[in-house]
Structure 1
Amino acid sequence: MRVDVFSTKPYDREFLTLLAQGSGLDFRFHEARLSKETVAIAHGAKVVCAFVNDDLGAGVIGSLAAMGVAMIALRCAGYNHVDLIAARDAGIKVARVPAYSPHAVAEHAVALILTLNRKTHRAFNRVREGNFALDGLMGFDMHDKVVGIVGTGLIGRVLARIMSGFGCKVLAFDPQPNAECKSLGVIYVPMDELLKRSNIITLHCPLTPATHHLINDDAIAAMKHGVMLINTSRGAVIDTRAVILGLKSGRIGALGLDVYEEEGDLFFEDLSGSYIPDDIFARLLTFPNVLITGHQGFFTQEALTAIATTTVANVVAFAREGVPMHPVAYPA
């Protein structure tokens, strides 16, 4: 069975090729993102393997169906970029990787927190220039600080364990409280109370209509002055314009992002020889208390192995039984 992989990077080729040995699958790798302009590349494929910033809207799905593509295998957990109604109507199965390494993303969130707090990124550059002054590098003890976790799924639970280990007081908001978190001493509170009490707020919720721009002007106004805000979930959970205003006012004292709501034209590409076309993103980079990484929270050996393993298993199950191992349910 031919599988066309879009948005391919060297590591995708390496891990998928390794984990597909003996599966009988014929992987074809394409560096191009899947879009209306590139969809014709998949002519002859039965499965298209896509990533977070590929276009899987109704137009692309219609073209895939017309070419005989029968399955979309996502190399990610989120599927908000897939028009599931169009896939359902076209008879295309959609599969995802529901979990790969919650430790990878949770630990990356901690890296953002510690870097912003102790300013090790700025200290690194200073020391390389022979500047050993400590002015401007003061942080705070993590111990006894209040950390608010929005979303206590697999990633949020791992983060709760780590923050508890630091001696933090952990609050959480989730419509479905988790018993493991409660056993750690995590206290579930309403969202407005979490915003009001937390020194650090970290987001680990999926992107849904209910969470789109969850962090907006009103939410920021309810936060403690100088709060640290971390987002490793989905970019559009945050209203970027509102966050910029929060940074300018000092309400947000530090911002760490691994995702961005308009990241599709930026992340996973090398623009160092060009320019950043997004003026709002460029504005974020002017703040000394903002730290942005390019959607690398998932980027560990363990996570990439798990992603490739599950992706191959999804396609093999579909080839043998007509149903992937981890299908995405169509809307009712």
Structure 2
Amino acid sequence: MLKIAFFDTKPYDKEIFQELNKKYGFEIIYFEERLNDKTVKLTEGFDVVSIFVQDKASSLVINKLHEYGVKLIALRCAGYNNVDFKAARDKIHIVHVPAYSPHAIAEFTVSMMLTLNRKIHKSHTRTKDLNFSLSGLLGFDMYQKTVGIIGTGKIAKILIKILKGFECNVIAYDLYPDTRSAEELGFSYVSLDELFIESDIISLHCPLTKDTEYIINANSINKMKKGAMIVNTGRGKLINTKDLIEGLKEYKIGSAALDVYEEEDKYFYEDFSVSGVNDDVLSRLLTFPNVLITSHQAYFTKEALNNIATTTLDSMMQLDEGKPLENEIAYICDENGCIIKKVITQK
């Protein structure tokens, strides 16, 4: 029987994994701590380590896991930028959850667009204070607006279907264009510069790589329409936050909806309502009336949690039974770093 260490465990994680594990029968120990260089000592004696987006599988962590005999890192998410693949080569298998609920994230993305555009969050706060004025709540029709999608994976394709229901004009950029889907769904691929220039709304759905890190920066912001909306439900470091703040201050960016933040691992999923946050950049973002921030919750539905748990436990069962790992991340490494060879993932 496999002995498994779960890190960064929240009550809802424990509840669903305990219920589903009745079918698998693994020995699971749940840790509230996040996996990092300081907590890796907790993994001694385990066969599998399961981590989430804020855990850090650094080279030191990987080497310690290998020393302790850990055979598998099971990511409970689609993203994998928190793993040092070069250190893991020939030492440990890495699996992830390719598609826990693309619908959840696509639907949440649209809800952020609508909330920010129509100032629903501000209106709700006002009316609770018996202020029924419409001043400052003016929005725009989504109808015939141009929405630029960066990354056209599973989430983006579902988002495009929803946006076409609003009769939006959808354009997209992807390093690997899916021309068949473009024809079927009625959107067109354009260059990245053209997307920045033409879009009223820009939504990010690409993985975080060396090519996409800070894809939204001062240079790209300068190319955008005055008053453009930026929506990010992907990864925090797709946006250079300081450049975004300058764009907001100069009224180049009309509004921004962020479910992720580049330094979110220090704060997201925890309660700082009493102690406050020691982050000047995040604090500045929170002062803008035209910025909507949520704490990486786009994925957070019952269906998604169930899919995460089932896929993760299935991967562990495959390891236990000596079967091929269906959701293993394949990669190649050289002196310049690692390249993912084949991975089906949510963009």
AA matched with 2:113: I
Q: How does 1:12-27 map to 2 (within 5 A)?
A: 12-27=13-28
Q: Match for residue 132 of structure 1? A: 132
Q: Distance in 1 between matches of 2:73 and 2:9?
A: 15
- 1:239 CA displacement: 0.5
Q: Match for residue 345 of structure 2? A: none
**After superposition, what is the alpha-carbon deviation per residue over 1:146-175, rounded to whole angstroms, capped at 9, x for unaligned?**
100111100010010000000100011112
**After superposition, what is the alpha-carbon deviation per residue over 1:60-95, rounded to whole angstroms, capped at 9, x for unaligned?**
111111111111000001101100111114x11100
* TM-score normalized with structure 1 length: 0.98
CA contact (8 A) 2:182 2:189 kept: no
**After superposition, what is the alpha-carbon deviation per residue over 1:79-123, rounded to whole angstroms, capped at 9, x for unaligned?**
01100111114x111000011110111111111100000000000
AA matched with 2:265: G
- 1:323 CA displacement: 4.1
Q: Match for residue 311 of structure 1? A: 312
CA contact (8 A) 1:318 1:325 kept: no
Q: How does 1:11-90 map to 2 (within 5 A)?
A: 11-89=12-90
CA RMSD of aligned residues (A): 1.0
Q: Distance in 2 between matches of 1:233 and 1:75?
A: 16
AA matched with 1:329: A
SS at match of 1:13: helix
Q: Distance in 2 between matches of 1:102 and 1:132?
A: 37
Q: Match for residue 198 of structure 1? A: 199
SS at match of 2:24: coil
Q: Match for residue 118 of structure 2? A: 118
Q: Distance in 2 between matches of 1:172 and 1:105?
A: 18
CA contact (8 A) 2:146 2:198 kept: yes
Q: Match for residue 217 of structure 1? A: 218
Q: Distance in 1 between matches of 2:145 and 2:8?
A: 40
Q: How does 1:1-332 map to 2 (within 5 A)?
A: 1-89=2-90, 91-178=91-178, 179-321=180-322, 323-332=324-333
List runs of 5+ in structure 1 lacking aligned partners: none
Q: Distance in 1 between matches of 2:242 and 2:323?
A: 45
List runs of 5+ in structure 2 lacking aligned partners: 334-347
- 1:325 CA displacement: 2.5
SS at match of 1:195: helix
Q: Distance in 2 between matches of 1:323 and 1:284?
A: 45
**After superposition, what is the alpha-carbon deviation per residue over 1:120-142, rounded to whole angstroms, capped at 9, x for unaligned?**
00000100000000000000011
- 1:210 CA displacement: 0.2
**After superposition, what is the alpha-carbon deviation per residue over 1:29-65, rounded to whole angstroms, capped at 9, x for unaligned?**
0100011111111111100000011010101111111
CA contact (8 A) 2:37 2:58 kept: no
CA contact (8 A) 1:85 1:330 kept: no
Report % sequence identity: 49
- Aligned residue pairs total 331
Q: Distance in 2 between matches of 1:330 and 1:28?
A: 29
Q: Distance in 2 between matches of 1:129 and 1:56?
A: 47
Task: Detail structure 1 runs of 4+ shifted over 6 Å in the superposition.
Answer: none
* TM-score normalized with structure 2 length: 0.94
SS at match of 1:139: coil
- 1:322 CA displacement: 5.7
Q: Distance in 1 between matches of 2:7 and 2:326?
A: 21
CA contact (8 A) 1:6 1:31 kept: yes
SS at match of 2:332: coil
